[in-house]
C-alpha cells in the first residue's frame, strides 16, 4: 500500500480503538453506560454467563473486538517499507495485548476463575497473532488483504453478537438500555479500514 493508505489503515484502527472505549450501552444511570470491555467484565459476573464456563461467550465476543485491534495493528505493520516502523507497530500491538493479562489474583489462588482464564487465553492468542502477522510479512498482497478483512469482520461480528447477548441480560433485569455510539463507531471505523485495503486492489484490477 502507498504511504497514504498505510496512514489510512492506522487511522481506521485508531477510530476502532476510540469507539471501543465509547459507550456501547447507553442509560440515564451512568453505571449502565458501558464501553465494550466494561460490558464484558459486567457480563462475566452474571450467573447465566458463568454457567457457560469455560467459554463465557458473551464476554468472549465483546473482548474479541479488542483482539481485532491488536491483530489489525500487527497486520498493518507489514505494509510499511521502513523496518523500524514495522517493529514499532508490532511492539504497539503487543502493548495493546497486555490489556488481556489477568489481574494478580490469577497468579495467586484464583487461577481456576473462568474469567481470568479467558483473559489469559486471549493474551496468549494475541501474542500468537502478532507472531503470525509477522510471518505473513512476505506473503502476497491478496493474502494480506484476506487476513485484514477477516480480522475486521470477526471483530465487528463478534462485537455485535456480544452486545446483543449482553443486552438480553440487561433486559432480563428490566434495565432499558440503548445501543451507544461506540458500537456504531467501531463498525464504521472497521468499514473504513476495509475500504482502505480494498481500494488499491480495485485500482490494480482496473489498470490490468
Q: How many separate domains does the chain show? A: 1
**Rounded CA gap, 89 and 96, in Å?**
10
Examine the pLDDT at 204 and tell me if it is beyond 60. Answer: no
Q: Which domain holds residue 55?
A: 3-207
What pLDDT does 201 receive? Answer: 53
pLDDT in tens, 8-61: 999 999 999 999 999 999 988 877 899 999 999 999 999 889 888 778 999 999
Examine the pLDDT at 200 and tell me if it is beyond 50. Answer: yes
pLDDT in tens, 51-107: 887 789 999 999 999 999 999 999 999 999 999 999 999 999 999 999 999 999 999
CA 54 and chain centroid, separation: 20
- What are the start-end ranges of the H helices in the chain? 3-20, 36-44, 47-50, 57-77, 83-97, 114-135, 141-172, 181-207
Amino acid at each position: 500500500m502507498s504511504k497514504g493508505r498505510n496512514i489510512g489503515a492506522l487511522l481506521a484502527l485508531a477510530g476502532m480503538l476510540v469507539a471501543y472505549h465509547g459507550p456501547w450501552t447507553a442509560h440515564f444511570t451512568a453505571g449502565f453506560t458501558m464501553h465494550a470491555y466494561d460490558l464484558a467484565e459486567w457480563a462475566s459476573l452474571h450467573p447465566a454467563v458463568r454457567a457457560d464456563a469455560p467459554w463465557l461467550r458473551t464476554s468472549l465476543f465483546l473482548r474479541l473486538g479488542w483482539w481485532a485491534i491488536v491483530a489489525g495493528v500487527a497486520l498493518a505493520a507489514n505494509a510499511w517499507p521502513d523496518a523500524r516502523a514495522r517493529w514499532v507497530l508490532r511492539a504497539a500491538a503487543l502493548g495493546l495485548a497486555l490489556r488481556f493479562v489477568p489481574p494478580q489474583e490469577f497468579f495467586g489462588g484464583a487461577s481456576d476463575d473462568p474469567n481470568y482464564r479467558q483473559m489469559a487465553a486471549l493474551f496468549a492468542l494475541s501474542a500468537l497473532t502478532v507472531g503470525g502477522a509477522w510471518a505473513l510479512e512476505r506473503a502476497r498482497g491478496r493474502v494480506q488483504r484476506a487476513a485484514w478483512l477477516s480480522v475486521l469482520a470477526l471483530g465487528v461480528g463478534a462485537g455485535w453478537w456480544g452486545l446483543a447477548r449482553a443486552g438480553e441480560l440487561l433486559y432480563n433485569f428490566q434495565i432499558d438500555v440503548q445501543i451507544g455510539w461506540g458500537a456504531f463507531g467501531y463498525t464504521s471505523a472497521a468499514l473504513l479500514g476495509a475500504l482502505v485495503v480494498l481500494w488499491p486492489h480495485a485500482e490494480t484490477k482496473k489498470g490490468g
